[in-house]
Structure 1
C-alpha cells in the first residue's frame, strides 16, 4: 500500500461490527455497500489517504509515488515467510499481517520537462487500466440498481478499432447504420454481415422463448454452441475487408478481418483462437454469442452514449467511491489513513475474532474482508495446528502464473487525429509472430477530466506469463503508436517527430510513460476473505461475479441490494452524461 503518513490515529467507536472491510477497492466497496443495504454494521478502513486502492485514479506524481512504494514491499517466496509474528494476549492470539508485492518491474520514463506535464494534479491516472464498461453490462445495472450511478457521470468511448499487421485500423461496427456507412465494405459484404447479426439476434430471441417449436428453428444448434467460436465464424463466411493479412503481415494466419473484429474487439478473446492447441482460453460459440448480444444491446441503451462503451469522468477510481458513498448513506463508518497490522484469533475456538490497528486499538467483527495486498495466513505456516483448519486448502496462497502487463502513456496528440476517446485492440500476431495474446489500448483526453487540456492519456494491457513477455508485448504496441520525443524543451517537444504510424499518420510523441507487471494470485479463508484484485479483462463483469459470490458466501440468507429503485426507471437514470 502507499507509504504511511506520520499522523496520530483516532480511536474508533464502537468496537464491534458485523463486517470490517480493509481497503477501498471496487470489490470491497461494493460488498460494503451491499452489506450496509442489508442492515449490517460496517466499518471500512484504508491505510491510504485516497479511495479506490488498486482501482484508484491518482494525480501524476501520486501515481508514480504509489508504484515506487511497491519496491519497498518484499516479495513472498516461501511458505515459511507468509506468517507474521504470532503473540498471545488475553483471550486472543494476534497474527501480524504481511503485505505482498502486487506490482513489479516498474519502469517510469519522462521524455519531457516537468513544465510540459504540469500541473500534476490535473491528471487522474488509473492504476488498473485500460478498463471500460459496456452500456448494458452487469456493472452498469448494479450501479443503477444500487443508486451508485447518482454519484458518478460517464462519457462514451467514441470508437473502437482493430489493428492490422500493415498498420491500419479497421473500425468495429456497432450498429446496422455503422455497417452501411463503412466504405471499406461492398454491398454484398454488408448484406453478409447483416445476415450474420440477424442470425445472432434470432438465436437470442428464440433462447428467451419456451415451448415454441417455431422459435427453436431460429436457434443455433447445440453442437455449434459447444464448438470453438472461431470455427463457427469461419462457417458463416463473413466478408473479408482485406483478402489476406499474409500479404501485409507474414506472422498472421489467413483470417478474415470481420472474424478478428468479432473475436478480439467484441468477444474480447485474450488468446490466439486460431491456434487451438496452445490457446489457454478457447472461446466457445455460446460465450461468443453472449458477447455479441451484450455488445448489440449496449449500443443505443443511453441516448448520450454514442456507442457500446462508456468511461467514468475523472477516471475509474470514481466507481468504488460511488459505492462507498452508498455505503455511508446506509450507515457504514469510513476511516482513511488507518493501517491494520494484525489479525485477532480467538484462543479458545481458534476462529477469526477481529483486527488490530496501527494505533494499537483492537476492533471485532463477525466477518472480515481484506485488500488483496494482504497475505491471509495459512494453517500450514502458523504455529497453531487448529487455526482455520476447516478451510486450509482455500486459505493457502494460490500461485497463478498468468500476470498482467500494464502501461500508461502521455502524449500531446491523438493516435487518430479526428478522434479523442477510442479503443484499439491488437489481435494476437498482429505485431510479431510470438504475440499469442491480445493487447488493448484505451486513449482518453481532457474532456474526461483525466489530464490537462491539450494532452492525451493512453492505457495498455496484455496478459503474459512472465515479465519479459509482458514488456515485449507493451513495447511492440507502443512502438506502433508512438515515437519518443527527442527534446526535453517544452517548445520543441510539442511538435511530433516525423515518423509514420497508424494508417500513414504522423506518430504522436511520447512525453511520459509507466510500465509495470501486476500479479493475479489470490487467497482466502473462512471468515477472512481476500478481495479480488484487478484482472486482465477490459470490463468489470468477472470481478463483479466474484464479488457477488463472496457476498452470498458471507450472507447466504441476505439479498444483494434488495432495496433498489424501480427497474422501469433504470433507463432514465441521470448518472450518464454526454
Structure 2
C-alpha cells in the first residue's frame, strides 16, 4: 500500500504575490516584494533552496541533474480540469532543462566524500566587486548572511596551452615578464585612451568640460575587435582584452561562428566595470570574489532577507495547477498537491514550470506558457582533480576552486567549464576538447555511478589527473513569458557575472510593481554594510 504524503495547511490563503521556485531571480523578487510591503508566499517542491542556482553535495548534484534532464523528465500529477468553485484548474507541469548528461568517474574518492562538496548548478560564475549584484547585496543587507573570498588570479592561454596571467592593471602590466616592451606600451596606451574616454563621458554627463579625448561615436558603434585592431593591439593583447577582461562569449574574429558581435561601447563598459572592481574592498585586491560554500548561498541569503520582511516559505510543496477564472480567464491562484487552494494577485514561476495550453479564452493553437523559446543552449562541465590546473583554454569560461571556499574536500580542486552552443553535439565537442587540454584523462573510466576506477595514480604529466566529471547541456531562456499576472523567471545565463541576470530580474519586478522602488534603502548605511562584506 502506497503511503500518501502529508502536507501542512498554508495560512493565510490570500497573498499579493506567490512565487514558485527558490532560484536566485525568484528569491530576489520575493525579497524585493516583501521589502516593498507586499504579502508574499514562496513555495518550492524541492527540499532545499536554490533550484537551478543551488550548490549541492556531489551525489545530490548528479541526482538533481538527472532528474531534471530530458532522459528522465517527469510531470507533476495532473488534477481535474474543472472545479465547482468558479475556477478552471490549468495543469502546471515541469519541462526538462538539462540534456545529454554524461557522468564519468575514474576514482571512488570524490563520491566517498560527497558531502564535502558544494557544486554550483550555475557555474562557472563569480562576482565582480563593482557589479550591480554587489551593490544590491550591500543595499539589501543580505551580506550579513554571506562571506566571500578573493579570486586569486585570472589567466588566459597563450594559444599553445600555456597559462599566462592577465595583465589587468598598470602595475600588472609592468610586472608581466611575458609581455614584450612593445606590447606593454600598446596596452598602456590603450588603457589610457579608455580612461580618458570615461573621464570625458563623466564630465559631459555632469555638464563640465574635459581635456580628455572621447572615442568617436563611429568607433563606439563598431565591433570591439576592429577597434582593438585599429588601436594597434597585437593578437595576444586582443585576446586578453576580449576574452579575459571583456568576457566575450563568441570568437569575435570568426564571423561564421560569432552570433553576437561585441560593440566597442559595450566592450568599453565591461573594461570600466572590471577596472573599477579592482581593489574596491581592502580584503579583495583583485576584481572578483566568490561566496564561501558556493553560489547557492545567494538565493538562500535573499530568501532569509525576505523571511525577515514577512515572506512565508514552504519547501517540499508542489503546485499542481493554476486557478483561472472561468468567466474572464484571468489568473486567480494556485492549487497545491494537498488540494488546498491559495489566491494571489500576481504569480512568479521558475523556468522549469510550464502551464499547459490551451488556457481559458486563449487561441487553440497557443503554445504552452513557459515553454522553451530559444534555440541556443549552454554546455557545462564540472571536473574534479587532485592537482591545480597548469593549462587553460580561451574560448571557454573556466573557473577553478579549492577547499579555500568550502566547495570541495581539502586536497581536491573543483573546475567549472561552460560554452554557449547550438546543440548538444557541438556543446559536448567543445567541452571534451577543453577537458583533454586541461586534464590528464585516464583511458578507462565508467559512466554512471558504479564501477569506479580505483587506485588512480598521478602521472608525470603536467596536467592534473581527472578523478570525476560531468558534462551536460542546459536550456537557455533569455526572455520571460508574461501572461496576465503570471511571469516566468530566466534560467542561469552563459555569463560568468550576474549583471544581465540581475537586470532581467529587476525588469520583472517593474512589470509586477511599476513605480515601486527595487529594494528601498534601509536605515543603516551602505558604508557599514560594505565594511561587513570586507570583513
Partners of 2:354 and 2:475 in 1: CA distance:
13
Q: Is the 8 A contact 2:143 2:529 kept in 1?
A: no
Q: Is the 8 A contact 2:356 2:368 kept in 1?
A: no
Task: Verify: 1:272 aligned to 2:251, yes or no.
Answer: yes
Which of 481, 503, 511 is the equivalent residue of 1:523?
A: 481
Partners of 1:319 and 1:264 in 2: CA distance:
26
SS of the residue aligned with 2:185? helix
CA 1:98–1:411 in 2, change beyond 3 Å: closer, same or farther? same
CA 1:573–1:565 in 2, change beyond 3 Å: closer, same or farther? farther
Residue deviations 1:318-360 (CA, integer Å, cap 9, x gap): 0010100110010001111111110001122210000011111
- Who is 2:334 aligned against? 355
Residue deviations 1:140-161 (CA, integer Å, cap 9, x gap): 1110111111111111111111
Partners of 1:470 and 1:191 in 2: CA distance:
38
Task: Verify: 1:130 aligned to 2:114, yes or no.
Answer: no
Task: Verify: 1:512 aligned to 2:491, yes or no.
Answer: no
With 539-548 and 157-166 compared, the bigger mean Cα shift is at: 157-166
Tell me how far 1:491 sits from its aligned partner: 8.1
- Who is 2:448 aligned against? none
Q: Is the 8 A contact 1:155 1:576 kept in 2?
A: no
Tell me how far 1:120 sits from its aligned partner: 1.2
- Who is 1:549 aligned against? 507
Tell me how far 1:570 sits from its aligned partner: 6.1
- Who is 1:373 aligned against? 352
Which of 441, 457, 462 is the equivalent residue of 1:484?
A: 441
Task: Verify: 1:91 aligned to 2:83, yes or no.
Answer: no
Which of 33, 44, 50 is the equivalent residue of 2:42?
A: 44
- Who is 1:246 aligned against? none
- Who is 1:224 aligned against? 219
Partners of 2:363 and 2:15 in 1: CA distance:
22
Q: Is the 8 A contact 1:224 1:232 kept in 2?
A: yes
Tell me how far 1:188 sits from its aligned partner: 3.9
Tell me the matched-pair count: 522
Q: Is the 8 A contact 2:354 2:369 kept in 1?
A: no
Tell me how far 1:73 sits from its aligned partner: 4.7
Q: Is the 8 A contact 1:92 1:344 kept in 2?
A: yes
CA 1:393–1:117 in 2, change beyond 3 Å: closer, same or farther? closer
- Who is 1:397 aligned against? 371
- Who is 1:412 aligned against? 386
- Who is 1:175 aligned against? 169
Partners of 2:348 and 2:210 in 1: CA distance:
46
- Who is 1:284 aligned against? 263
Tell me how far 1:217 sits from its aligned partner: 5.1
Which of 327, 336, 345 is the equivalent residue of 2:315?
A: 336
Q: Is the 8 A contact 1:174 1:307 kept in 2?
A: no
Q: Is the 8 A contact 1:265 1:425 kept in 2?
A: no
Which of 350, 361, 366 is the equivalent residue of 1:385?
A: 361
Partners of 1:529 and 1:469 in 2: CA distance:
31
Tell me how far 1:168 sits from its aligned partner: 1.2
Tell me how far 1:289 sits from its aligned partner: 0.2
Partners of 1:377 and 1:489 in 2: CA distance:
42
In the superposition, the TM-score normalised over structure 2's length comes to 0.92
CA 1:351–1:414 in 2, change beyond 3 Å: closer, same or farther? same
Tell me how far 1:223 sits from its aligned partner: 0.8
Tell me how far 1:64 sits from its aligned partner: 1.1
Q: Is the 8 A contact 1:37 1:563 kept in 2?
A: no
CA 1:557–1:39 in 2, change beyond 3 Å: closer, same or farther? same
Which of 516, 531, 534 is the equivalent residue of 1:573?
A: 531
Partners of 1:410 and 1:16 in 2: CA distance:
47
Tell me how far 1:530 sits from its aligned partner: 0.9
Tell me how far 1:276 sits from its aligned partner: 3.4
In the superposition, the TM-score normalised over structure 1's length comes to 0.85
Q: Is the 8 A contact 1:139 1:544 kept in 2?
A: yes
Task: Verify: 1:469 aligned to 2:463, yes or no.
Answer: no
Q: Is the 8 A contact 1:206 1:218 kept in 2?
A: yes
- Who is 1:192 aligned against? 186
SS of the residue aligned with 1:400? coil
| Pairing of 1:106-185 with structure 2 (within 5 A) | 106-113=101-108, 115=109, 117-185=111-179
- Who is 1:258 aligned against? 237
Partners of 2:374 and 2:211 in 1: CA distance:
42
- Who is 2:460 aligned against? 498
Q: Where does the alignment leave 5 or more consecutive residues of structure 2 unmatched?
A: 445-450
Tell me how far 1:564 sits from its aligned partner: 3.0
| Pairing of 1:240-255 with structure 2 (within 5 A) | 240=234
Q: Is the 8 A contact 2:124 2:417 kept in 1?
A: yes
SS of the residue aligned with 2:154? strand
CA RMSD of aligned residues (A): 2.6
- Who is 1:204 aligned against? 198
Partners of 1:567 and 1:414 in 2: CA distance:
40
Partners of 2:39 and 2:153 in 1: CA distance:
43
- Who is 2:403 aligned against? 446
Partners of 2:428 and 2:227 in 1: CA distance:
33
